Structure 1
Amino acid sequence: MTLFNHFLALLVMALVCSSPALAAGKKETTISLRVTATAYNSLPGQTDNTPDLAAWGDRLRPGMKAIAVSRDLLYKYGLKRKAKVRISGLDGEFLVLDKMHQRWEKKIDIYMGMDRHKARRFGRKNVTIKW
């Protein structure tokens, strides 16, 4: 094996092993889904007596880009805790840090810190999420 071929083989192995899905022989895919989006705040009237504590124990702080998701997105569609999600119409990525009551389906709740007015202005929208 020439030095170039040896280098090329090492490079391919490094690229494959850097991706858990590729290393396991799986193709990485992006999932896209249309959902209803609303907004919520860290206020006792909207949650419980620990409004900054999410369902998995993560602490929410104003300024975080976090979302709560309906449980069907977790169990039926494979979304995971701490997954990075892009939301159509919004900049950046949001982390899945909270889950909603089981009565909701195909729904996300976008965390908006303590700003109740911002959450109300957001209202209810149909958006596409990708992860």
Structure 2
Amino acid sequence: DTIREAIQVAQEVSSALKSSGEVEEAFDAMLLVVGAKMTLNETDEALKVLVELKSSAPSAKCALQALRREVAVNLELGEVDKALEVARAGQAEFEKKGDAEVVAGLWSVLADALHAKGEEVEATEARIKAAAN
């Protein structure tokens, strides 16, 4: 019950922050919701929230945070192929934006997914690209 109450409070705080124009803080509050849902083993709900956060993120850095968490959740579930699919889709989408820090983060996320898949050569190449950005 306490965790569910925390989810409710975080959602209310997020709404209030969004209404007052503090969109990045609202985003962060929703990341707390994701963590709480994971604690409750409500992974499907956590993934739904992450997909929403990713598509409505106030900045590329926030979208990267959501993508990183989405990949991590899929890896926790043993859904390695799905994690790799999400990472590659994110890379294709966000690379267009050209933010060097975000691109480096994307390569790092992709490297984690490739490593989990056992694709060590590609994972190493992705880590090198992450470091180069």
Q: Normalized against structure 2, the TM-score is what?
A: 0.22
More helix by share: 2
More strand by share: 1
